[in-house]
Structure 1
């Protein structure tokens, strides 16, 4: 591992899984090698393992605990490295399931990504009885309102639908 200071930041180069991974942080970030050592709630851990995760990816090892602590995190990595699961696990850990109101809003640039985020949240939160709804264009606004009135812990959606741009013909 090599470290070099760049404008007060630490740059770490690691050799993991036969690829070079670069991390830049404003201060030292602990690496948490397993989900079990992250201090996650038991029902969330069950969901993580049921989803098929065995070990956190490099980005998950570094970002989940920071997000849970309330730190501002900008995490960039290639497709398929676990970014969506990283923030989904963090959001689920912070929820008070007993309170059926929106506690997290996740904005996505596309309908497809907003729907994928909802599916990941529901799968990881399967043992938590989490309520999650995706507000996206091309769906019925009345259904969105009904679901939101029922109470959703997490809402994922596109900015247009979430912030109330005029309905399209497909979404009266």
Structure 2
């Protein structure tokens, strides 16, 4: 499969690296993270992120938040799974918000979701938690104006949350540039991968 124009993705290089990683000792590749944090204050988060978390109504972290926020903040590759309504969205949103460089108004995090509704819901959570950080978030989803997406992206955002079709379109048009992206979140990965998106 050829990479889209303007992309520096090399499929053969990627496949070779994945083969190398998977053929290595699996223990080095898959590990479990055992640290549990009983409070948001103990996680070493920025003060303005904590303000956003508490303003959103969280008092004590849920089980997924106790285990999931810190490894994400440390830049580890993580797979997180929990029941619906347990705070998974706030978990990865907190991890993203903690790691952004707010002095650089470029897309540093890309979050993909299977539906427009979910992408817009994630955008709302990201905005609310990042309220005191001055985060700029945009939802790139189908059914909205392409020109408006292009205008907002060209004015600069820190995070793009979107659906695969519209995000790919924005990448193809070079309105969304991947140069500064350092975090990628695939929400509802099982759903995404089963849809052949």
| TM-score, normalization by structure 2 | 0.70
Deviations 1:35-68 (A, max 9, x none): 0010000110000000000011000000110111
Structure whose residues are more often helix by fraction: 2
Q: Distance in 2 between matches of 1:41 and 1:128?
A: 9
Root mean square deviation of aligned Cα: 1.5
Q: Which of the pair has the greater relative contact order for Cα pairs under 8 Å at 6+ separation? A: 2
The superposition leaves residues 129-163 of structure 1 with CA deviations (integer Å, 9 ceiling, x where unpaired) of: 10000000000000000000010000000000000
Name the structure where strand makes up a greater proportion of residues: 1
Determine which of 149, 153, 157 is the counterpart of 1:152. Answer: 157
After TM superposition, the runs of 4+ consecutive aligned structure 1 residues lying more than 4 A away are none
Structure 1 residue runs of 5 or longer lacking an equivalent are: 1-7, 10-24, 166-172
TM-score normalised to structure 1 length: 0.80
Residue 118 of structure 1: CA displacement? 0.4
2:100 alignment counterpart: 95
Residue in 1 that maps onto 2:90: 85
State how far apart, in whole Å, the 1-side matches of 2:103 and 2:74 are. Answer: 21
For 1:164, what is the secondary structure of its paired residue?
A: helix
Aligned to 1:139: 144
Q: Which residue pairs with 1:12 in the alignment?
A: none
SS at match of 1:55: coil
Gaps of 5+ in 2: 1-25, 171-197
Distance 1:162 1:56 in 2: 31
Paired position in structure 2 for 1:62: 67
